[in-house]
Structure 1
């Protein structure tokens, strides 16, 4: 039984690596066509928060990631430090939009403004009420960003809805930053990339347990990364990336979870996205061929 399980994992890893090599150009192209951002601020469950208002305004216009969904498994809280988190943010998205409305966001603004790469791709939404105050935030990080970086500071009224004019202005700022810097890492540890890769895995395998997705991505990382000194830390990253991808796909209603088999599969909406992001010839000649290979294996 143990040998069979080992052979099964090996098969999953082989197919998973083949899928990655073929879908990578499609994923890169899809990511380059859209604007991908991290949105930082107060809890989005607070309906009166600016972060909630911005999320609603940008919905269906920009691809929004919430850091708390990415880091729900504490990948950077145990083994890694704040610098690792900043590097991750700087490399994974086109821009980081910050709603300065909570103690956490105050701290993050100071840290991010001092980061060599991240300080160039921030969009700070400043509350008009505090615009002229001689505060540490205004005289420190905001002044620095305005004078020394390509980051944007947009002043808005936090007591009102985020209106259409402000939405247009924000989207323009995101596009401007993307044009000058944009995403740096198109790899399996980018949560946007990983989400699309997991979507392709689910299409090919039909139904698969999370533990096998983790084994596939761990195998890819071992093959692609010659530096194997910090494997425990890497494993934690892999688990978090898989959880994040499944969580995001679930929120988008693109996957189903079978409680009895503890496995994931695509919904009709998930399959529709596959048909939208890949051309029919590629789906027929490659993805469907790999599906047939999986069916014959079992």
Structure 2
């Protein structure tokens, strides 16, 4: 039997703690995902081109958390938005107007909002303009966190928003706190890379064993959703047990083995930990093969 507690400590100390995270965590709100020509979709395509950006669609995360711990959607938005650096909000439907209103009345979240609206409504005496957007104007100099686009020319505003996200000043503090959803998702990526393929229940078991500060277990599924959205992991079904498990995706393999490990200079540490798991997985099969070979002689 392998010493899982020792392996977890190695992952935490020699891999996770060495991975200083300077990425910008972004809540990318907007039109529903099936609309492929939306401003949100165009922004997401651009964000994916730069590893500095960690953009996620919040509604998928909310769906994994709704009802857990008695939280409603507004409370969940407040809780999760604390961990993001910027909230990019193209006003592309009724749902986004509600999101803007909910975020704008929160003094902690207001400075994080970048709103995008149609120039058609720029001078409208609407509740959106006189309420949430007015609050946003007061918060930022020269309306620098509000952008307008002409209908049919939505793509022109994309580069302006990307540049604003890059130039915006952020109060980022180095943190390895597992109560932070994005930190937890980074650690879970390491667990999957070392222990793959691995079931969600096993991930939870390992996190409980780690004993490195408080972990919100309700965030485990949300963390898996973050990694799935970033194409770091994929879910599969074991043909023998019919249980679903998680492994690195093709893009996840490239990221871990060609970017992360060389950057952190942890090839030896990683190889040792992974070999421990592989040996443990296949050791029973080796014994069976050895026994069968004796029977055949």
Q: Please state which band the TM-score falls in when normalised by the shorter chain.
A: 0.7 to 0.9
Q: How many residues align?
A: 272
Query: 1:217 aligned to 2:210?
Result: no
- Pick the aligned partner of 2:27 from 28, 33, 38: 38
CA contact (8 A) 1:100 1:126 kept: yes
- Pick the aligned partner of 1:283 from 250, 266, 275: 266
- Structure 2: 5+ residue runs without aligned partners? 282-297
Aligned-partner SS, 2:154 = coil
Query: 1:113 aligned to 2:104?
Result: yes
- Pick the aligned partner of 1:274 from 234, 237, 256: 256
- Structure 1: 5+ residue runs without aligned partners? 1-6, 226-230
**Deviation per CA, 1:31-76, whole angstroms, max 9, x where unpaired?**
31x4331111120211343322332344413432111222232346
Query: 1:259 aligned to 2:238?
Result: yes
Query: 1:199 aligned to 2:189?
Result: yes
- CA–CA distance in 2 between the matches of 1:280 and 1:237? 28
Q: TM-score, normalised by structure 2?
A: 0.78
CA contact (8 A) 1:15 1:290 kept: yes
Aligned-partner SS, 2:193 = helix
- Pick the aligned partner of 1:66 from 37, 57, 64: 57
- CA–CA distance in 1 between the matches of 2:276 and 2:172? 37
Structure 1 residue runs of 4 or more that deviate by more than 6 Å after TM superposition = none
Deviation at 1:240, TM superposition (A): 3.2
- CA–CA distance in 1 between the matches of 2:59 and 2:173? 20
Deviation at 1:211, TM superposition (A): 1.1
Give the corresponding residue for 1:188.
178
CA contact (8 A) 1:146 1:153 kept: yes
- CA–CA distance in 2 between the matches of 1:83 and 1:36? 19
Give the corresponding residue for 1:244.
225
**Deviation per CA, 1:108-137, whole angstroms, max 9, x where unpaired?**
111111112211111000111100001111
- CA–CA distance in 2 between the matches of 1:117 and 1:21? 32
- CA–CA distance in 1 between the matches of 2:114 and 2:153? 19
Give the corresponding residue for 2:154.
161
Give the corresponding residue for 1:3.
none
Give the corresponding residue for 1:20.
12
Q: Judging changes above 3 Å, is the alpha-carbon distance between structure 1 residues 245 and 84 closer, same or farther for their aligned structure 2 residues?
A: closer
**Deviation per CA, 1:67-117, whole angstroms, max 9, x where unpaired?**
1222232346662242442232132x2211001122221111111111122
- CA–CA distance in 2 between the matches of 1:186 and 1:68? 25
The within-5 A match list for 1:162-181 is 162-163=155-156, 166-177=157-168, 179-181=169-171
CA contact (8 A) 1:113 1:144 kept: yes
Give the corresponding residue for 1:79.
70
CA contact (8 A) 1:72 1:244 kept: no
Deviation at 1:147, TM superposition (A): 1.1
Q: In angstroms, what is the RMSD of aligned CA positions?
A: 3.0
Give the corresponding residue for 2:294.
none
- CA–CA distance in 2 between the matches of 1:281 and 1:129? 49
